């Protein structure tokens, strides 16, 4: 007997499997009459053995503003929702360009959960996304216990005292600088910070090794997923924190295990811009 991991109904749910620098997604086109996936369905689809397997589910939906071509929402593998997904924004853009509803050249708008993003497909096939202005005010990260931004925040984490950077890209990010990314203890400090009372909505945790003023290595232990091969908002968060510390310049190549992203942040009050690839892997149908 075949087990159906979905809702038990018989309707098939078409999806596209995609990734951005190895951060992988199941993309669902919900324009029209399909309902948003419930947490149980997200967990079933994301399951690496019983499902399709992905870090996040992305849903393409009707635009929420007149200027946008479409809107999208983001669900982590554990079924929790997120407000920001940089790699996912590039994949949604590529999906709409392939469909023909977004231009293959020139800028267009997409509505994310935190507002509009301007996106552009470049001549080399990569996508450039306006990721917004980083927010360092603790209450807006959110981060509790600190009444003003005082980077680094010295936090007790699982028996160690750690200097932590913190910023919101629309979703919460913490950052720990390390000397060697390959020996960073993600499985200790990642969950330790995600469960920390300073982060009431948990947090995505980046581990950065500075290679030069225009190059860093980064690994990210994501909220609702665990370690991913890449995190676009995490790459922005790392550059924002390190640039503000004066440790890197304003145009940085971020090398993640799954690939490279180029992050620029011209000045503190301007949006960050992320540039990277988006790839189609296969098309399928989920027997919901
Ligand atoms: N991978 C995504 C971030 C997902 C963030 C999610 N883990 C959260 O709960 O905030 C990116 O490329 O930005």
What is the atom index within ligand 1 of the atom nearest the CA of 55?
A: 1
Same-domain status, 110 and 143: no
Count of Cβ atoms closer than 10 Å to residue 102 Cβ: 21
Going by CA atoms, what residue is nearest to atom 1 of ligand 1? 231
Q: What's the distance, Cα to Cα, between the start and end of the chain in Å?
A: 16
| CA 2–ligand 1 middle distance (angstroms) | 33
Q: Which two tokens stand for residue 226?
A: 């665990």
Has residue 47 been placed in a domain? yes
Same-domain status, 106 and 82: yes
Has residue 168 been placed in a domain? yes
Lowest mean pLDDT across 97-101, 145-149, 198-202: 145-149
Q: Report the mean per-residue pLDDT for the chain.
A: 94
User: CA nearest 234: which of 211, 257, 214?
Assistant: 257
Same-domain status, 282 and 248: no
Confidence (pLDDT) at 30: 94
Portion of the chain with pLDDT greater than 70, in percent: 96
Query: What are the start-end ranges of the H helices in the chain?
Result: 39-46, 86-99, 186-194, 232-244
Q: Which two tokens stand for residue 89?
A: 């924004």
Give, as one character, the DSSP assignment of residue 182.
G
Res. 5 pLDDT band, cuts 50 70 90: very low
Same-domain status, 194 and 261: yes
| Strand pairing category for 127-132 and 81-82 | unpaired
Structure ipTM over 0.85, yes or no: yes
Best mean pLDDT range from 31-35, 112-116, 148-152: 112-116
Same-domain status, 120 and 149: no
| CA 145–ligand 1 middle distance (angstroms) | 24
Has residue 226 been placed in a domain? yes
User: CA nearest 243: which of 277, 207, 203, 272?
Assistant: 272
Confidence (pLDDT) at 147: 82
Res. 11 pLDDT band, cuts 50 70 90: confident
| CA 231–ligand 1 middle distance (angstroms) | 6
pLDDT tens digits for range 134-149: 999 999 999 999 888 8
How far, CA to CA in Å, does 65 sit from each of 34, 159, 176? Answer: 20, 47, 37
Same-domain status, 262 and 281: no
Of 19, 82, 221, the residue with max ligand 1 atoms within 8 A of its CB, to mutate for a pocket test, comes to 82
Confidence (pLDDT) at 7: 42
Q: Which residue has the tokens 């996040």?
A: 56
Confidence (pLDDT) at 107: 97
Whether the predicted pLDDT of 4 surpasses 80:
no
CB 237 within 8 A of CB 175: yes
Same-domain status, 86 and 155: no
Report the CATH number at residue 94. 3.10.310.10
Has residue 220 been placed in a domain? yes
Give the span between the Cα atoms of 208 and 224, in whole angstroms: 20
CB 257 within 8 A of CB 229: yes
Q: Specify the 3-state DSSP secondary structure of 187.
A: helix
In the chain, the number of structural domains is 2
Has residue 7 been placed in a domain? no
Q: What is the DSSP string of 234-271?
A: HHHHHHHHHHHTTSS-SEEEEEETTEEEEEE--STTSP
User: CA nearest 81: which of 230, 239, 202?
Assistant: 202
Same-domain status, 234 and 143: yes
Same-domain status, 149 and 256: yes
Same-domain status, 111 and 231: no
pLDDT tens digits for range 232-277: 999 999 999 999 999 999 999 999 999 999 999 999 999 999 999 9
Radius of gyration of the chain (CA): 18
Q: What residues make up the domain containing 91? A: 13-127+277-286
Same-domain status, 121 and 200: no
Q: Would you please indicate which residues are annotated as catalytic (active-site) residues?
A: 85, 231
Has residue 77 been placed in a domain? yes
Give the side-chain half-sphere CA count within 13 A for 113.
Answer: 15
Instruction: Please give the sequence-ordered ranges of beta strands (E in DSSP) within 53-203, or none if there are none.
Output: 56-61, 68-76, 81-82, 106-112, 115-121, 127-132, 153-157, 160-168, 172-177
Q: Is 51 in the pocket of ligand 1 (CB under 6 A)?
A: no
Has residue 230 been placed in a domain? yes
Q: Which two tokens stand for residue 172?
A: 């919460």
Give the side-chain half-sphere CA count within 13 A for 22.
Answer: 14
Confidence (pLDDT) at 67: 96
Give the span between the Cα atoms of 284 and 210, in whole angstroms: 40
Same-domain status, 148 and 254: yes
Has residue 6 been placed in a domain? no
Confidence (pLDDT) at 65: 95
Q: Which two tokens stand for residue 205?
A: 């945790």
pTM of the predicted structure, to 2 decimals: 0.95
Whether the predicted pLDDT of 8 surpasses 50:
no
């Amino acid at each position: 007997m075949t087990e159906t991991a979905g809702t038990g109904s018989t309707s098939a749910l078409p999806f596209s499997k995609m990734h951005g620098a190895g951060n992988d997604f199941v993309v669902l086109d919900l324009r029209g009459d399909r309902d948003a996936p419930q947490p149980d369905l997200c967990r079933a689809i994301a399951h690496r053995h019983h499902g399709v397997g992905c870090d996040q589910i992305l849903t393409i939906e009707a635009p929420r503003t007149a200027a946008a071509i479409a809107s999208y929402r983001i669900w982590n593998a554990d079924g929790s929702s997120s407000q920001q997904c940089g790699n996912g924004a590039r994949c949604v853009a590529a999906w709409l360009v392939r469909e023909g509803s977004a231009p293959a050249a020139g800028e267009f708008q997409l509505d994310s959960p935190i507002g509009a993003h301007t996106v552009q497909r470049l001549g080399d096939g990569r996508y450039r996304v306006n990721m917004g202005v980083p927010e360092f005010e603790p209450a807006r990260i959110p981060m509790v216990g600190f009444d003003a931004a005082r980077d680094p925040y010295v936090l007790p984490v699982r028996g160690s005292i750690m200097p932590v950077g913190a910023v919101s890209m629309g979703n919460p990010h913490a950052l720990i600088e390390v000397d060697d990314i390959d020996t960073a203890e993600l499985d200790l400090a990642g969950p330790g910070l995600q469960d920390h009372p300073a982060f009431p909505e948990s947090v995505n945790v980046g581990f950065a090794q500075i290679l030069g003023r225009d190059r860093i290595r980064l690994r990210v232990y994501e909220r609702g997923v665990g370690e991913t091969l890449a995190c676009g908002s995490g790459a922005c968060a790392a550059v924002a924190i390190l640039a503000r510390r004066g440790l890197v310049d304003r145009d940085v190549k971020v090398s993640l295990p799954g690939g490279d992203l180029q992050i620029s942040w011209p000045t503190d009050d301007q949006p960050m811009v992320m540039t990277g690839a988006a790839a189609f892997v296969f098309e399928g149908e989920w027997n919901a």
